[in-house]
Amino acid sequence: MYEELLKQIDANKLPQHVAIIMDGNGRWAEERRLPRTFGHRVGVASVKAVIKVCLELRIKYLTLYAFSTENWARPKNEIDALFKLLQEFLRKERKRLQKEEIKLNVIGRWRELPAKVVKSITSVVEETRNNSKLILNIALNYGGRQEIIDAINKGIENGEKDFSIETLQKYLYTSGIPEPDLLIRTSGECRISNFLLWQIAYTELYFTKVYWPEFREEEFLKALIAYQRRERRFGKI
Ligand code: IPE
Ligand code: IPE
Ligand code: MG
């Protein structure tokens, strides 16, 4: 199946940057009468699968929405479990990130996270900062509106007065990173949930009913194939 789908990929028409709203972990687990946190755990395997495909196809930028500024409204035990999983991921995968030349970049107000989490992130970001095969952006305590506000405030602090599109972009968390070509959301919800509001002005959107824990290599290839069939116009005819 994977090989069949791979044959349909046109290497010259791949997105340079894919962003993903990884949704549906909770429902995937609930449907199996498992705790929601189990869904998050299985979702980590999907993260690894998507990274693998990006490396294989040489997709250079991958941005994953892992925790939104609105997700603080969830029960404490679920939030704790999510950050535990993140730390476990960083601990177990740091060697591989280095070996595969992946640069970890975290976007959002992540410095406000629990000190332990900030510490593990900082250490892996530091360790992988010279890698460039894949730029893995993880959005943590991320909100698109907050990003724009943070950018304006940073700009003002830096003496900017008259903001143009280019000026504002310089201060976004994603400064220096091309805009996503493709945004995927799993789990059947067709909304943006405060993700990359500024950057997705011309991004192709792909929604699938598949829950994140089941979004593996094949599903990712299907999304890429759908993307390749789109005609991007950017306002032209
Ligand atoms: C996505 O899955 C993971 C996070 C938002 C952290 P959900 O936990 O939102 O799963 P559903 O949407 O409740 O199924
Ligand atoms: C979006 O999913 C945030 C992440 C995937 C991290 P949510 O499950 O939080 O979004 P809503 O609440 O359904 O819009
Ligand atoms: Mg959800």
CB 220 within 8 A of CB 50: yes
25 lines ligand 2 (CB under 6 A): no
| Section 127-148 average pLDDT | 98
141 CA to centre of ligand 3 in angstroms: 15
The model's pLDDT over 182-227, given as tens digits with 9 standing for 90+, comes to 999 999 999 999 999 999 999 999 999 999 999 999 999 999 999 9
Strand partners, 17: 61
Which residue's alpha carbon is nearest to atom 10 within ligand 2?
193
The model's pLDDT over 19-39, given as tens digits with 9 standing for 90+, comes to 999 999 999 999 999 999 999
Residues with catalytic annotation?
23, 71
Q: Name the residue of 20, 21, 187 to mutate for ligand 2: max ligand atoms within 8 A of Cβ.
A: 21
> Which atom of ligand 2 is nearest the CA belonging to 193?
14
Query: Which DSSP string corresponds to 13-76?
Result: G--SEEEEE---HHHHHHHTT--HHHHHHHHHHHHHHHHHHHHHHT--EEEEEEEEGGGGGS-H
> Which atom of ligand 2 is nearest the CA belonging to 24?
8
- C-alpha distances (whole Å) from 218 to each of 4, 66, 211, 214 are 9, 21, 13, 10
Q: Name the residue of 21, 22, 23 to mutate for ligand 1: max ligand atoms within 8 A of Cβ.
A: 23
Which residue's alpha carbon is nearest to atom 9 within ligand 2?
71
Please tell me the predicted confidence (pLDDT) of residue 207: 99
Nearest ligand to the CA of 183 is: 2
The model's pLDDT over 43-88, given as tens digits with 9 standing for 90+, comes to 999 999 999 999 999 999 999 999 999 999 999 999 999 999 999 9
In whole angstroms, give the CA distance from residue 223 to residue 230. Answer: 11
> Which atom of ligand 1 is nearest the CA belonging to 28?
14
In the structure, which protein residues have their CB atom closer than 6 angstroms to any atom of ligand 1? Answer: 22-27, 67, 71, 82, 187, 212
159 CA to centre of ligand 2 in angstroms: 35
In whole angstroms, give the CA distance from residue 214 to residue 2. Answer: 14
Please tell me the predicted confidence (pLDDT) of residue 80: 98
